Amino acid sequence: MRRKLLPLMPGAVIGNGRMLATIKGNGELYRLFWPHIDQVQHLGQLIAGIRETGPSPGMVQWLHDAAWNGEQRYLDENALVFTTRRRDDLALAVEQADFILPEDDVLVRHYQVQNLAGHARNMQMVVYCTFLIDESALYDTMYIHFPQQALIQFRRNIFLALNAPGYPLAGYHTGRRDTPGDPLAAASRGEFFGNSSTLRAGAGAMAWNLGEIAPGESRQFTLYLAAASGERDVLQILSRMAGETANHWQKITVEFWEQWLGRPSVTAGIQNENPDNRSEKGEHRAEVPAGNDGEEPDHIPRPQANIEIVPSDKDDEERACRRSLMVLKLLSNRDTGGNIAAPEFDPFYMACGGYGYCWPRDGMYTALALDQAGYHQEARDFYLFAARVQNADGSWQQRYFTNGCWAPTWGQQIDQVGAVLWGYHHHFALTGDRDFLAEIWPSADLGAGYLVDHLSEKNGLPQPGLDLWEDNFAQSTYAAAAVYGGLVGASLLAEIKGEAEKADRWRRAASGIKESIIAHLWNPDRQCFYRAINRQVGCYDYQCALDRGDYAWTGKEPSGLYETFWVEKDTRIDAAVLGLVFPFTVLKPDDPRMNAAIGTLEQVLGNKQVGGLHRYEGDNYAGGNPWVLTTLWLGIVRALRGEREAARALYRWALDNASPTGLLP
C-alpha cells in the first residue's frame, strides 16, 4: 500500500537546478526530486541514527526523533543547511550539513558526532532508506553493490545510490517496506541479517562503525546520495565523491553560491530611474518608444531598473534579499528555464491544489525579480520557456511542469497572458537584447492577438475568467490591469519590430481597457476598485443577491445543459488591485483613486492583531491569515509613492514572519 506524504512546509530547500531536496526542521530529508526540480519525487524515507556498541549495546537513536533538541540554519546565503541535534540524556551532539553539488546530482549529508560523556564510547552510524522511485512502488529493485559498499535502488532508467566511503560496513539488510521483511524494526535494534537484494517496494538499512570516540571529541561521517540514469554512471559519481573529502565538496558548493550571488550588484534602496538610461552594468537599456505625438504616454510602463527592496544599512534585510534570490535560483529548472512556485509539499492535494508547478504569471514575477537584481540570463531562460509552451491560439495553460508538459489544471486565466507579454517587454527594456526579441516576438504577436480577441464587446474589459487567486470567475480588476500591461508591452515591442499597424491596434486596445477600468471598476461607496464585476456564483449566493435587491441573472454553460448564476458586482476589498500600480502601471502611484484605495486596503485587510495584509475580505484559505506576498506588494507600492518608511515597516513585518531558516512563506 502506498503511504501518503502529509502536507508539510519544509524547513529548508537545497538543489542545483536538476536535483531538488527539502529538509524538515529536524534535519530529516523530506522530498527528493530528480532529474527535474518538480519531477519526479523519489523519496519514501531516509533517516539516520546513532547506536552505542560495546559490551552493552543500545537501541539506535534516530536523529529525527522529537527527543532531540536543535536548530537549523543556512550557511550565510549559500544553499547549504546546518542542523544541530543534541541530547543531554545520551551525552551526544550531532551537527549535520546538507548540500547538493552545483554540477553533480549528488546530495551530501555530512555528520559530526560528538561524545559529551566523560568516558570513551564506541559508536555506530545507522541509515535506513526506502525510495518511491518515479513515485511508484512497482518494478523497482534494491541491492547492495559490494565493491563500493553502496546501496542501490533502481526503476527503469532511474538509479539512486547511497554510500559512506571511509568507514567499514558493519551490517546491511534489504527487504520490502511495510511488510515483516522491512528492515526498519530490526535496524532500530542494531540487527542486520545480510539480505543483499529485494524486488518491489525496496527498503534497506546499513551500519558503519565509527570506532571509539574519546570524551569531548568528535567523529565525522559523510553520506553521498547520487542519482543517474544507469548503474555505471551512478557508481562513477560515487567513485569521484570518494576521491575527495566532504570539505572539498562543501568548498565547491559554497564557492558556486558566493560567485552567483556576487555576480550582479545588489545595491541599496528604491531609486529613481537612471537619468542616462543605463543599466547597473553600464549597458544602455532599450529606448521606450514615444507615442504618436512624440511624447511618452502616461500609460506606458517604463522599466524600473533600480528597484530593489534592500536598504544597504540593514544586514538582515540584505541577507533576506540574497536568500530569496538563492531560492529563486533553486526553484528554476536549469535545463528548461521553467520555475516553480514551491517544492511540492502536498502531492495528494489534501490541503490545496499543489504548488510544485510553473504558472506563467508566477514565472513572470520570478523573472521580474531576477531581472531587477541583474540576473538577466535566468530571467531570459524563463521567457524562452514561456514562448516554447504557449498554446497555438496565443494563450497559456494554467500551469506546467518545468519540462513543458501541462500540469493538472482547473481553468486558464487571461491575466497570465498579459503578465508574460508585459514581462517580455520589461526584459527587453532592461537588456536591449535583440536576439531575445527575435525569439519571443512570434509569441508576443500571438499573445496580443489573443488578448484583443478576448475583450468583452459590452464593456471593453477582458472576458470573465479565473482571477489570480484562482477561486473567482469574473471580470476582475487585476486581470484587466494585467491585460492592459500586456498589450502596452506588446505594442512597444511591435514598434521596435517596425510593426506600426499592430502597435497602434494594441495600444488603442490598451487605452480602451484603461477607460473601462475607470468607468466600470471603481467603487465610490467603498473608495476602492471592485474585486470584479459580472461574477459567476453558486445558486445560494445568487439567491442572496436577489434577496438584497442586487442585480443578478442566470445563463447557460457552454453545452447549454446546465444553468449558471451571476451577480453584477463583487464588492469585496482585494489586495490584487495593487496590480493597477505595480507592475502594470495602469495608474500612477499617486493617482487620487489609488490614494483612496490604499487607505481602504489597509483599513479593511490590515490585520490589527498580528500585522500584515490579507488577500481579500472573507478569505479563508489556510485559515485566512495575512500573506507575506500581499504585504510586500503593498510595500512596493508604498515605495513607488516615495513612502520609504512605510515601505520599510511592511518589509520588516515580512522578515519578522520568516521561517527559522529565513525563508519567506
The pLDDT tens digits of the residues spanning 649-663 come to 999 999 999 999 999
Confidence of residue 268 (pLDDT cuts 50, 70, 90): very low
Note the pLDDT tens digit of each residue in 402-415: 999 999 999 999 99
Of the candidates 341, 249, 297, the one whose C-alpha atom is nearest the C-alpha of residue 13 is 341
**Interhelix angle 376-389/360-372, nearest 10 degrees:** 160
**Interhelix angle 500-520/434-453, nearest 10 degrees:** 50
Domain 12-258 CATH class label = mainly beta
102 beta partners = none
Note the pLDDT tens digit of each residue in 133-171: 999 999 999 999 999 999 999 999 999 999 999 998 999
Q: Grid coordinates representing 595?
A: 490614494
Confidence of residue 576 (pLDDT cuts 50, 70, 90): very high
Residue 480 has pLDDT above 80, yes or no: yes
Alpha carbons 25 and 605: distance in angstroms, whole number? 31
Q: What is the bridge-based pairing of β-strands 197-199 and 29-33?
A: unpaired
Residue 630 has pLDDT above 60, yes or no: yes
| pLDDT in the model for residue 8 | 85
> Pseudo-torsion of CA 187, 11, 375, 486, nearest 10°?
120
Residue 265 has pLDDT above 70, yes or no: no
3-state secondary structure of 279: coil
Alpha carbons 38 and 13: distance in angstroms, whole number? 13
Residue 313 has pLDDT above 80, yes or no: no
Per-residue burial over 100-130, b if 16 or more Cβ lie within 10 Å, else e, is bbbebbbbbbbbbbbbeeeeebebbbbbbbb
Residue 417 has pLDDT above 80, yes or no: yes
Of the candidates 642, 574, 661, the one whose C-alpha atom is nearest the C-alpha of residue 271 is 642
Alpha carbons 11 and 82: distance in angstroms, whole number? 11
Give 283 or 315, the one with higher predicted confidence.
315
**Interhelix angle 246-262/315-330, nearest 10 degrees:** 110
> Edge-to-edge, what's the strand order for the sheet holding 61-62?
61-62, 43-52, 121-131, 202-213, 169-176
Q: Grid coordinates representing 573?
A: 476589498
Rounded to the nearest integer, the mean pLDDT of the chain is 92
For residues 441 and 424, the answer to whether their CB atoms sit within 8 Å is: no
Place of cell 543605463: 278
Note the pLDDT tens digit of each residue in 111-132: 999 999 999 999 999 999 999 9
Cβ neighbours, 10 Å, residue 232 = 10
| pLDDT in the model for residue 304 | 44
Distances 191 to 144, 186, 206, 493, 520 between C-alpha atoms, Å: 17, 5, 10, 68, 73
Of the candidates 410, 400, 147, 435, the one whose C-alpha atom is nearest the C-alpha of residue 420 is 400
| pLDDT in the model for residue 3 | 59
Alpha carbons 633 and 444: distance in angstroms, whole number? 26
For residues 54 and 121, the answer to whether their CB atoms sit within 8 Å is: yes
Average pLDDT over residues 357-381: 98
Alpha carbons 155 and 157: distance in angstroms, whole number? 6
Residue 33 has pLDDT above 80, yes or no: yes
Average pLDDT over residues 71-80: 95
Q: What is the largest CA-CA distance in the chain?
A: 92
Residue 481 has pLDDT above 80, yes or no: yes
> Pseudo-torsion of CA 182, 188, 191, 196, nearest 10°?
40
The answer, as to whether pTM is greater than 0.85, is yes
| pLDDT in the model for residue 314 | 58
Q: Grid coordinates representing 294?
A: 512624440
3-state secondary structure of 575: helix
Average pLDDT over residues 89-101: 98
| pLDDT in the model for residue 55 | 82
3-state secondary structure of 49: strand
